[in-house]
Chains A and B, each alone.
Chain A
């Protein structure tokens, strides 16, 4: 009787592990296939009869990518918009959140209601586009930064964190003659590093992966971020492969470049992924606390 139950649980473990392994394979195999394909020689890529090991390896695709100055430029724009965007977003949200974390702040109720409304209602695509146009942000680098300065969701997370700063510390600073800004910068901010890091990381991933801002507001190719550049390459390649069935050589070269660009675009995400993983569970819990 007892052994029967035990084997039932054993069976469960085995079936569960096998199913999970299958899921892991379904996630990993396509990713590895893309990486392998990006290193394939153009003929091997055209025939395409491999999953991990092309007939002939080659770095040609990457050479072509790195020779293309427009891709370098797009990479630079992405790095700039991510760095500037993250620093300004985190600082701006922290500043507002610090003031809102003071329960005796006059007008706090009104500010909070205003903020909560922005979490549930928005003007949508077209009115926002018209606003950007009115503000002169179309074809300006600042369209990547200004509209992303503030998020009430992040303010709520930071506000909850600032409330946990022991008030005795702030009072001591006040007695020492520190003003609001000094207390904010030297006491509240350093003590809230985990929350600031979480918000910075998520905002950074958003900035790096964001393509819609460029698609909506940017026609100047000099200001394309790398995601928009990749989109352009993909659209071109698709049009080519649909129109020029005869000209296989041309479309496979551009396919190789497309694959290499995909890999290059994703490398920064992979590099910070371990950091992200460390922070996102706590970040999610911070978000859940508010609910």
Chain B
């Protein structure tokens, strides 16, 4: 009795491997279906992650990733002393904070406003209109913005019609206005789409809460502040964490189409700087170091934001 038990435990690893191999062979058709996915991930996801090592090397066009010489933290030291890099950080943060201020709050307000509309064709039409800009590409929207903001464009027409300005100006050539243009146009595009998840959350609120509040004499505003908003706390916190962790992320499509020689000093963001240094000037190691550094800081931001909202909400969302 004891002997057989010992034998069984003694062979357990070998037997497990045998069992695994047997199951694997039996599941071969299924395994063959997963295999292409695994190969894809190794090539297209894990190889670039391995390629990040060139941030610590001096890579040139004639090198392969493995043949380039290690230089340690050299690239990062140069990045930290590069004033153009810091300028792109300032621009990225400036635009991101405006987006946090406007782009993050607008969908919350808009979803409450839509939720408060009576169900019917009007509500459906409003939803249809508000989602539409999300599906336009940034190139299309960029082309439109260039026209709206030009001297003969829509915005000058309206401002002059209202008597607010005397002479038309091209807003995109005024670098002082760029941060506002970037954040407001992003809000215009994405605010409606941002309501989808909020509206789905609100659809799950028990209507009897509102009935009870009405019986207690609560007005509509009171119902919003004491029922709707508190019940949306989790989803709002989740979005807040994601927005904060994305503070150093920038919109490369938007930047490439709206940036010009006049506004570049305020329009160059980290991603467009990486693009310019890496692909236009061929300094691959340097550009990779910038990208890697920014990703690491973003992860730190994500963890910090999760901790802080966790303290406020008593439980962390992620």
- Collect the chain B residues with CB atoms within 8 Å of residue A212's CB: 252-253
| B29 x A95 contact (CB < 8 A) | no
B33→A209 contact, CB < 8 A:
no
- A290 contacts B by Cβ under 8 Å: no
- Residue B138 contacts which of A28, A124, A211 (CB distance < 8 angstroms)? A211
Do A126 and B287 touch (CB < 8 A)? yes
Q: What size tier do the contact residues of chain B reach?
A: 35 or more
How would residues 9 to 38 of chain B score, 1 for a CB under 8 Å from any chain A CB and 0 otherwise?
A: 000000000001001100101110110111
A92–B39 alpha-carbon span in the complex (Å): 12
Min Cβ gap A63→B in Å is 19
What's the Cα separation between A233 and B240 when bound, in Å?
37
A136 within 8 A of B: no
In the bound assembly, the distance between CA atoms of A28 and B188 in angstroms comes to 11
Interface check A53, CB cutoff 8 A = no
Instruction: Assess the A48–B33 pair: CB atoms within 8 A.
Output: no
**Pair A180/B33 contact, Cβ less than 8 Å:** yes
Cα–Cα, bound, A5→B220 (Å): 10
B45 at the interface (CB under 8 A from A): yes
Shortest CB-to-CB span from B263 to chain A, Å, is 11
Residues of chain B with a CB closer than 8 A to A30's CB = 144, 148, 154
**Interface size band for A:** 35 or more
Of residues 291 through 310 on chain B, the ones whose CB sits less than 8 Å from some CB of chain A are: 291-292, 295
Contact (Cβ within 8 A) B137 A227: yes
Q: Is the CB of A9 within 8 A of B219?
A: yes
CB nearest to B142 among chain A residues:
A234
CB distance from B26 to the nearest CB of A (A): 9
**A125: B residues at CB distance < 8 A:** 271, 274-275, 278-279, 287, 291
Interface string of B205-222 (1 = CB under 8 A from A): 000000000000101110
Q: Are A105 and B34 in contact (CB under 8 A)?
A: yes
- List 29 contacting pairs A-B, 8 Å CB cutoff, sorted by A: A13-B116, A19-B113, A20-B114, A31-B133, A33-B148, A34-B148, A49-B152, A96-B34, A99-B31, A106-B24, A111-B34, A123-B52, A124-B291, A125-B287, A126-B279, A127-B49, A127-B288, A130-B54, A131-B47, A150-B41, A150-B44, A180-B33, A208-B137, A211-B253, A216-B279, A242-B262, A276-B135, A280-B131, A288-B200
Residues of B within 8 A of A (CB): 20, 23-24, 27, 29-31, 33-34, 36-38, 40-41, 43-52, 54, 64-65, 110, 113-114, 116-117, 122, 125-126, 128-133, 135-140, 142-144, 146-148, 150-154, 157-158, 173, 188, 192, 196-197, 200, 217, 219-221, 252-253, 256-257, 260-262, 271, 274-275, 278-279, 284, 287-288, 291-292, 295
Write the residues of chain A forming the contact surface with B, with a CB cutoff of 8 angstroms.
5, 8-9, 12-13, 16-17, 19-20, 23-24, 26-31, 33-34, 37, 45-51, 92, 95-96, 98-100, 102, 104-107, 111, 114-115, 117-118, 121-131, 134-135, 146-147, 149-150, 152, 155, 179-181, 184, 205, 208-212, 215-216, 227-228, 230-231, 233-234, 237-238, 241-242, 255, 258-259, 261-262, 265-266, 269, 273, 276-277, 280-281, 284-285, 288
